[in-house]
Amino acid sequence: MFQPVLLANVDKPNSHTLATYEAAGGYAAMKKVVNSMTPAATIELVKSSNLRGRGGAGFPTGLKWTFLPKDATKIYMCINADESEPGTFNNRILMEEDPHQILEGIIISCFATKSDTAYIYIRYEYPLCTQRIQAAVDECYAKGYLGKKILGSEFSLDIYLHRGAAAYICGEETGLIESLEGKRAWPRIKPPFPAVEGLFRKPTVVNNIETMCCVTQIAARGAEWFKSIGVPSDPKNPRDPGSYGPKLYCLSGHINKPGCYEAPLGITVRQLIDQYGGGVWKGRKAKAVVPGGISMGLMSGDELDTPLDFAGPGKVGCLGLGTAAVIVMDDQTSMVDVLHNCCRFFQHESCGQCTPCREGTAWSLAMLDRIRAGRGRLRDLDLLLEIGDSIGIIPGTTICGLSDGAAWPIKNAIRKFRGEFEEYIKRTNPTGYAEVEPVPALETNGHGGHHALPVINQSVAWGGNARPAFPGPVEGGKKL
Site for other proteins in 262-291 (CB under 8 A): 290
Q: Which member of 351, 381, 384, 425 binds other proteins (CB under 8 A)?
A: 351
Nearer to other proteins, 212 or 223 (CB): 212
- 138, 282, 355, 434: which one contacts other proteins (CB under 8 A)? 355
Q: How far is the CB of 26 from other proteins (least distance, A)?
A: 25
**Calpha distance 410→379 (Å, rounded):** 14
> What does DSSP assign to residue 256?
S
Task: Return d(Cα 351, Cα 169) in angstroms, integer.
Answer: 7
Cα gap 62→261, rounded to integer Å: 25
Residue 254 binding other proteins, by CB under 8 A:
yes
Distance CA 65, CA 56 (A): 17
Rank residues 35 and 457 by Cβ distance to other proteins and give the closer one. 457
Residues 319-338 that bind other proteins (CB under 8 A): 325, 327, 329, 333, 337-338
Binding flag, residue 406, other proteins (CB under 8 A): no
Nearest distance in Å: CB 356, other proteins: 6
Of 80, 90, 87, 84, nearest to 168 by C-alpha is 84
User: Greatest CA span in the chain, whole angstroms?
Assistant: 78
Grouping H, G, I as helix, E, B as strand and the rest as coil, residue 355 is helix
Q: Where does this chain touch other proteins (CB under 8 A) — which range of 224-232, 239-247, 302-310, 447-455?
A: 447-455
366 binds other proteins (CB under 8 A): yes
Which 3 state secondary structure label does DSSP give 137?
Answer: helix
Omega before 99 within 30 of 0, i.e. cis: no
Among 145, 310, 345, 408, binds other proteins (CB under 8 A): 345
Contacts of 180 (CB under 8 A, 6+ apart): 78, 119, 121, 162, 199
Contacts 24+ apart (CB under 8 A), 152-156: 153/34, 153/35, 155/34, 155/110, 155/111, 156/116
Interface with other proteins by CB under 8 A: which range of 29-37, 147-155, 244-252, 427-435?
Answer: 244-252
Residue choice 42, 84, 113, 208 for contact with other proteins (CB under 8 A):
84
Q: What are the residues facing 79 on neighbouring strands? A: 120, 207
Which of 54, 123, 372, 450 is in the footprint of other proteins by CB under 8 A? 123
Q: Which stretch binds other proteins (CB under 8 A): 10-18, 38-46, 312-320, 361-369?
A: 361-369
Smallest separation (angstroms) from other proteins to the CB of 405 = 12
Out of 258, 312, 376, 401, name the contact with other proteins by CB under 8 A. Answer: 258
Residue from 34, 342, 413, 414 in contact with other proteins (CB under 8 A): 342
User: How would you class 355 by CB atoms within 10 Å of its CB: exposed for 0-12, middle for 13-18, buried for 19 or more?
Assistant: exposed
Q: Give the residue among 90, 34, 128 at the shortest CA–CA distance from 322.
A: 90
Piece of 97-105, 306-314, 383-391, 410-418 that binds other proteins (CB under 8 A): 383-391
